[in-house]
Amino acid sequence: MHDARPGSLFHEALEIPAWLEADGTRSLTDRLERDRSIAATLPGSDPIARVRHWWLAVRRDTPPAAPDAEFAANLSRARGIITFLMLLIGALAGAGTAAAVFRYDGTWPVNVVTVLAVLAVLQLVLIALTLILMLPKVPGLGALQSLLSGLNPGALAAALYRRVAGRKDERSRLLVWHEARGPAAGRFARWQMLTWSQCAAVSFNVAALVCALVLIAFTDLAFGWSTTLRLDDADVYRLARLLAAPWRELWPAAVPSAELIEHSRFFRLAASPPSAVAASELTGWWPFLLAALLTYGLLPRCCLLLLASIRLRAATRNLLLDDPRVRALLDRMSAADVHLGSDVKETAAVFPDVDARPAPAMSGDAAVVVWSGALPLGEVHRWTAEHLRWRVTEAMAAGNRTIAADAAVVERIAGLQPEALIVYVRGWEAPLLDLQDFIQALRAKVGSQCSLILVPVGANGDVSSESQRSIWSRWTARVGDPALYMETGA
């Protein structure tokens, strides 16, 4: 018996679409009845919850294939490993940087300007660049965002893992932003990368603070300030008070006094270190430095990590929901419990010796477009009810006249506001760009909530062959529309 306990959302976002892909060989009637019966037992209307509970019910009887389950587990484990590596690298870098800038050999004091420049000002610059990377595509910033995404520590770690692991599976590209397929995978890879980079940044700042506290508590550090800029004591005092504004009222001791600033200035070209003030009095800078590291380093990074984690959770939801196979599943789960009772009466009357059973449940109402004469319009209602279990509200032809005529069909469909639209295509012909343009025009008019169901039809008006379905399945995947999926009618 397969383990039916719920896994992580990311793990299921890999397993469920792979399982549904293999399940596509099963007859539509069987899938429709199975999914509807499971849906009837599920509480609530949240699509993620319904899909995950459906998965718990299905996997008890038909667990995922071993390669799919193993791949999902390996990729989930890889995320954990990369997260740990980011935390470790960040901690080592933070501790090393703090040890370097707080280095004191008893001769020259620790330069406050250097500490602030490395652990506060540089942090603010990196935070600003991270905010730019978090923005959606902005005109004029695309090149900078692309550059930053390549130099980001999270992106580098993901690319390194994929190269070392040698994964050929397309799903492994979920960890690499530039190689992600489709908008949902791109959003997931982007926020995963940003989450990893903020893990490293938070770890860096925590380690730097801990290292600074240890050095302050267990060694005798003396602080001073020195810069080649033409700043006098009054300028530095005003600048220090400005930097201390966030904590001035909460921690007054962390605001350097004018006397401390005046007495702690030093010049390395002097014959000897500053001696006018006792070394013990030069320790007064440490509360200010710790408060600056906390305010301008750790706290902003924690906020960015929280934001990135929230957005990653939403992107993981979309990674599952924006998969066309999952969209098809949700359509089957929400199919109305409607039977064509008239078919039963006619069967009993014309063929009394035949067992008259109720017609299968219908999926609901749908508009239909027949592209390039894939089916005679007169056959659309029967073919759709028999093979797809949809009732046709209106059927129209496209793809065999002018561009203006196709545009008129798009406008007509938009006026119907259908919840589902079936597009019949010639299964024996290769997909062309004009069909893709038509599909994109339809999507722009009917909105993202309308399911577009592409159905390749065989040359003799029957269901398409396996090779034809394979070609059209790859084509629908390349279109990258999460609400566009292929149905075979088999």
- Closest Cα partner for 285 from 230, 236, 246? 236
Interval 337-368: pLDDT, tens: 544 444 444 434 443 443 444 444 556 789 99
* CB under 8 A, 24+ apart: contacts of 445-449: 445/410, 445/411, 445/413, 445/414, 446/413, 446/414, 446/417, 446/418, 446/421, 448/482, 448/483, 449/419, 449/483
The confidence score (pLDDT) of residue 412 equals: 93
Write out the two tokens for 160.
């390194």
Interval 321-338: pLDDT, tens: 888 889 889 988 886 554
The confidence score (pLDDT) of residue 238 equals: 92
60 phi and psi, to 5 degrees? -65, -40
The confidence score (pLDDT) of residue 359 equals: 46
Of 103-107, 130-134, 447-451, give the lowest mean pLDDT range. Answer: 103-107
184 phi and psi, to 5 degrees? -65, -45
User: Higher pLDDT residue, 102 or 171?
Assistant: 102
The letter for the amino acid at 284 is G
Dihedral angle sign, alpha carbons of residues 314, 317, 322, 323: positive
The confidence score (pLDDT) of residue 54 equals: 93
Write out the two tokens for 313.
């959770």
The confidence score (pLDDT) of residue 210 equals: 96
Map out the domains of the chain with their CATH numbers.
Answer: 70-321 (no CATH), 341-486 (3.40.50)
Interval 131-185: pLDDT, tens: 988 887 767 777 777 777 777 777 677 666 666 555 555 555 566 554 545 678 8
Check pLDDT > 80 for residue 279: no
Read off the pTM.
Answer: 0.77
Q: For residue 22, what pLDDT band results from cuts at 50, 70 and 90?
A: confident
User: What's the gap between Cα 39 and its chain centre?
Assistant: 27
The confidence score (pLDDT) of residue 281 equals: 65
- Closest Cα partner for 194 from 156, 141, 161, 143? 156
The letter for the amino acid at 392 is V
